[in-house]
Structure 1
Amino acid sequence: MELSCDRLAAQLAGEPLRPVYLVAGSEPLLVLEAADAVRAAARAQGIGEREVFDMEGRDADWDALDAAINAPSLFASQRLVEVRLPTGKPGAEGGKLIAAFCANPAPDVVLLVIAGEWSKAHAGKWSEAIARAGHVAVAWPVKPHELNGWVSQRLRSRGIKATPDAVARLAQRVEGNLLAAAQEVDKLALLAGGEAGMLDVERMDALVADSARFDVFRLVDAALNGQAAQVSRILAGLRAEGEAIPALMGMVVKELNTVATLARACNFSAECKAQRIWPAKEAVYKRALGRYPPESWQRLLVEAGKVDRIAKGRVRLGSEPADAWLQLERLLLATADKGAARLLAS
């Protein structure tokens, strides 16, 4: 039976660890928290040893995983073995190994499979075997009409009561970004955790200085996620707040350089580790990488340098000074939408 991530947490609290778990979905925050719940349950039940295997494409070493599962533990009576599947597909070899483990689990191993993408097409005999021997939890994306309820529940879990209008305001500001929503709720818990009564819209506004405080982090994430409309909205907000373009360009250049580096890498997972990229952010970069070949990301990086020079008055377009805000918007729209790349020639 497929569980929600919330239901998985309840199951973990009420029973001994099962031999195997599958946590899957394209919503990074929910997948991360569900996997963390399994890790916490393992620690609570005395499992201190943890091994992690990144299985991506041709670089996946299933023989090494098989050897690790069947090797006796040197330091603990039980181990947590994590298998990360960025694409959600273990292939024939991996599927066979996982199914075999489920049929005859190693007594000293709890297997946690984490799939970064998931749909009905990803399921197979291997995931059915996990469901029989353990639990399958899927983090389905939160739909727009579900976001207010999700935010409200998140607030309640942190001991905060808010009016429906205040919840709606917070949901509007985070633009459907669950990670941003979670961060804002945690901030509210610190600022208003001791307050009695309900937070109304005015108090929410006072506590969260425009959560969509239209910050540059959200701006770049919107571009990498392909959210062109959000790019224009956030950029307009930054401009209205009086932000200076040179202050924004450091993060823009940094993120574009990261994507360009990942685009050239032979092994995505290994490069993410080398770049110290948080696992929840990997899906953002993957979506961006599917938009352009490596050389195009290098071109966007060059364009970012041009925008920076325009903002500092070092570049003119024709006889008039160039509009740095317009050029930055064109750059980020091109980052978000392949069809907008033609704007860069304007």
Structure 2
Amino acid sequence: MELKPEQLASQLESGPLKPAYLIAGPETLRVLEAADALRVAARAQGFTEREVYEQEGNREPDWAAMEASFSAPSLFASRRLIELRLPTTKPGKEGGRLIEEFCAAPPADVTLLVTGGEWSKQHGGKWSEAIGRIGTVAIAWQVKPHELSGWIDQRLRSRGVRADRDAVQVLVERIDGNLLAAAQEVDKLALLVDGTPLDAARMQDLVADAARFDVFRVLDAALNGQPAQVSRMLAGMRAEGEAVPAVLGMVVRELQLLAKLARAQTRGGNALMGEFKALRVWDSKQPAYKRALQRHAEGHWDRFLAAVGRVDRMAKGREAGDAWVALERVLLAVAEPRAARLLLAG
């Protein structure tokens, strides 16, 4: 069975969990929220054990351990949710075989959840068809521009916020197609509104640009490899009179965090997941960091930090140059390896 990710929650409320689920696609927020809904349902239905197997860079999950877990009895006679996280949504030959064998005779006490960050006709195969036969497949396609107003309106209503069509359009223009940014804005509005419907003027006031929100968006675009959005957002911030020093603190913090994560990734094993836990990086943010880490070698992050130091000196008049242009070069380098080569060669 194939559903939209948003339809999965209704299915989960209507009966017991199926033996297997595949939730994948390019729209990260929809994948994360659908997977979270399944985890909540699993806990409510007595799934007290959870195991996670993950593909990290070129390192495949421990297929042998996963296969052994499928056939092993639960430790406390409880039900288990076994998660397989595949950023590329490509289990390969061995992983595909293992999933097919699981689906052919799923253990009564196990539900398998496969999540992925990509999807196309080339990704599917016998393994995903096997999941569809005994469970549910939910593909999180990107929300198209003409669908965005409806998506935001539904999101607002689900949080108890009523807004007219013009007000919704104001929010559409602000978030620029970024669903993660839209979700943040809607959650903020839910805290600010007093129950009265929002018109365009009040929506504009409530979502008025503030540096701390704009920096989050720019950094998200850089981490997710979206150079065009980085340039557009920085140009907007500059035109509105933001000061470079006001945004550098968050940029430095993110680059320092990425440098630590890169060193952990180089150590291999479960070091990266351990570092995520130690640094308290939310599950919803981990895919963006992993994508950024895949684009750059470990040593690049310290060099990006050094470049930000030059940006700071330019902003304070201690070094010649345009601080906004220099900041854009750094963030474009984070987003795009070709831009990184230009920056690091300079």
Quickly name the TM-score band, shorter chain normalised. Answer: 0.7 to 0.9
Offset at 1:290? 5.2
The runs of 5 or more residues in structure 1 that have no matched partner are: none
Q: How many residues align?
A: 339
Query: In the aligned structure 2, how far is the partner of 1:203 from the partner of 1:55?
Result: 45
Match of 1:12 in 2: 12
- Which string of whole-angstrom CA distances, capped at 9 and with x for unpartnered residues, describes residues 56-77 of structure 1? 4434211111222222112343
Conserved in 2, the CA contact under 8 Å of 1:173 and 1:211?
no
Offset at 1:313? 3.1
Match of 1:216 in 2: 215
Query: In the aligned structure 2, how far is the partner of 1:257 from the partner of 1:244?
Result: 21
Amino acid aligned to 1:13: E
Conserved in 2, the CA contact under 8 Å of 1:54 and 1:85?
yes
1:307-346 equivalent positions in 2, closer than 5 A: 307-315=311-319, 317=320, 322-340=321-339, 342=342
Offset at 1:101? 1.0
1:173-184 equivalent positions in 2, closer than 5 A: 173-184=174-185
Offset at 1:21? 1.0
Conserved in 2, the CA contact under 8 Å of 1:55 and 1:84?
yes
Offset at 1:298? 4.1
Cα distance 1:268–1:298, how it changes in 2: closer, same or farther (>3 A)?
Answer: farther
1:293-308 equivalent positions in 2, closer than 5 A: 293-308=297-312
Amino acid aligned to 1:217: F
Identity of counterpart residues, as a percentage?
62
Cα distance 1:161–1:141, how it changes in 2: closer, same or farther (>3 A)?
Answer: same
Query: In the aligned structure 2, how far is the partner of 1:295 from the partner of 1:269?
Result: 20
Query: In the aligned structure 1, how far is the partner of 2:25 from the partner of 2:172?
Result: 21
SS at match of 1:84: strand
Query: In the aligned structure 1, how far is the partner of 2:326 from the partner of 2:149?
Result: 35
1:260-279 equivalent positions in 2, closer than 5 A: 260-263=259-262, 265-266=265-266, 267=268, 270-276=271-277, 277-279=281-283
Amino acid aligned to 2:26: S
Cα distance 1:270–1:34, how it changes in 2: closer, same or farther (>3 A)?
Answer: farther
Amino acid aligned to 1:27: E
SS at match of 2:156: helix
Out of 76-85 and 134-143, give the one that drifted further: 76-85
In the superposition, the TM-score normalised over structure 1's length comes to 0.87
Offset at 1:104? 0.6
Out of 180-189 and 74-83, give the one that drifted further: 74-83
The runs of 5 or more residues in structure 2 that have no matched partner are: none
Query: In the aligned structure 2, how far is the partner of 1:126 from the partner of 1:243?
Result: 50
1:1-346 equivalent positions in 2, closer than 5 A: 1-56=1-56, 57-192=58-193, 194-196=194-196, 198-210=197-209, 215-263=214-262, 265-266=265-266, 267=268, 270-276=271-277, 277-289=281-293, 291-315=295-319, 317=320, 322-340=321-339, 342=342
Out of 134-143 and 75-84, give the one that drifted further: 75-84
Aligned Cα root-mean-square deviation (Å) = 2.6
SS at match of 1:21: strand
Query: In the aligned structure 1, how far is the partner of 2:145 from the partner of 2:262?
Result: 31
